Amino acid sequence: MILKRIITVCLFCVSIHLIKAQDTLFIFTKHDCSVCKQTKQVLTARGISFAEKAVETTSNASEMLNKLAASGYKGSIYMPVIYMGKKLMHPSYSTDSGLVTLEINAVADSIMRNYQRGKIAKVNMPLTTDPTHSSTASADCEHASGTIYLIAANYPNEKEAVNAVQILVKNGYPKAGFVHDKGIFKVYLTLFADFKSASEQLAVEKFKFTDAYLYTAN
C-alpha cells in the first residue's frame, strides 16, 4: 500500500515536471509583414499552437524589445520575433554558446521538433492584439500642444536632409520632410496632432530607425 502511494506520488511529480517543461510559443508580428504572415501559415499548417502579439500596440512592442535585450540580442530586428518561453527562436536562435542566426524555415523546423517532443504548450485562447481595436480618444478629448514630428534622424546640412527625405518618400513615407531647428535639420517620417498616436507609431518605427524620436513644434 505504501509502495503504491509512493509510485502514485512519483507519477504525479513526473506529470508536473512535464507540464512545467512546456512553453508557450509567442510570435511578435507586424500587420504589413509578409514573412510574419507566411510564418503563421506554416506553423498553423503544421498544427503548431502559438500566441500572437502585434507590435503596433505599444505594450507589445515594449515587451518585445525588453525580451530581446534580456536575450542579449543587439542586431537589426527582423520580423517576426519568436520566443519559446524565454528562449529566442528568431531572428536568432539562443544557445548555450550565444546567439546563432538562422533562416525562418530552419526556425520553423526547430519549432516543429520541439512541438513534437511536447515542449510547446497548447494555446486555448488566442492572445492576438488587433491594432484596429485599440482605443483612441476623440479629437475633442485630445490635448494638442502643436504639431508632433516623428523624427527619423538629424543631419548637419540641408543637402543631406533633402536626400534623406527623397529616399524616405520613395520607400513609402509620402509625408516625409525636414524641420530646421537651431542649426540642425531634423528629417521626419510623418507628423501627428496628438501625442498618443505619435508614441504608438514611434514604437513601431524604432525597429527601422533606432535614433527615431518625437519632436514638438509649438
The CATH number of residue 111's host domain is: 3.40.30.10
Does 86 reside within a domain?
A: yes
pLDDT for the residue 36: 87
Q: How many DSSP H helices and E strands does the chain contain? A: 6, 10
Percent of the chain with pLDDT over 70: 78
pLDDT above 60 (res 21): no
My answer on whether omega of the bond before 131 falls inside 30° of 0, hence cis, is no
pLDDT for the residue 83: 92
Cα angle 188, 191, 197; round to 5: 120
Rounded Cα distance between 77 and 65, Å, is 9
pLDDT above 60 (res 45): yes
Does 7 reside within a domain?
A: no
Residue 76 and residue 120 in one domain? yes
Does 13 reside within a domain?
A: no
Does 199 reside within a domain?
A: yes
Residue 83 and residue 111 in one domain? yes
Residue 106 and residue 147 in one domain? no
Does 17 reside within a domain?
A: no
The pLDDT of 201-216, averaged and rounded, is 88
Distance of CA 140 to the CA centre of its chain: 31
pLDDT for the residue 215: 85
pLDDT for the residue 144: 32
Average pLDDT, the chain: 76
Residue 50 and residue 97 in one domain? yes
The pLDDT of 136-149, averaged and rounded, is 42
Domain region containing 180: 142-217
Number of domains in the chain: 2
Residue 113 and residue 152 in one domain? no
The pLDDT of 114-130, averaged and rounded, is 64
Residue 92 burial (CB count, 10 A): 21
Dump the DSSP string for 38-102: HHHHHHHHTT---EEEETTSHHHHHHHHHHHHHHT--S---SPEEEETTEEEESEEEETTEEEE-
Where is the domain boundary, 132, 166, 198? 132
Distance of CA 51 to the CA centre of its chain: 13
Rounded Cα distance between 197 and 175, Å, is 16
- What CATH code is carried by the domain that includes residue 211? 3.30.70.1070
Where is the domain boundary, 132, 157, 191? 132
Residue 123 and residue 179 in one domain? no
| Residue 27 near residue 53 (C-beta atoms within 8 A) | yes
Q: Which residue has the higher pLDDT, 86 or 12?
A: 86
- Least confident segment among 24-33, 50-59, 133-142: 133-142
Give this prediction's pTM.
0.49
Map residue 192 onto helix, strand or coil: strand
pLDDT for the residue 28: 92
Residue 113 and residue 28 in one domain? yes
DSSP assignment letter at 120: B
Where is the domain boundary, 88, 114, 132? 132
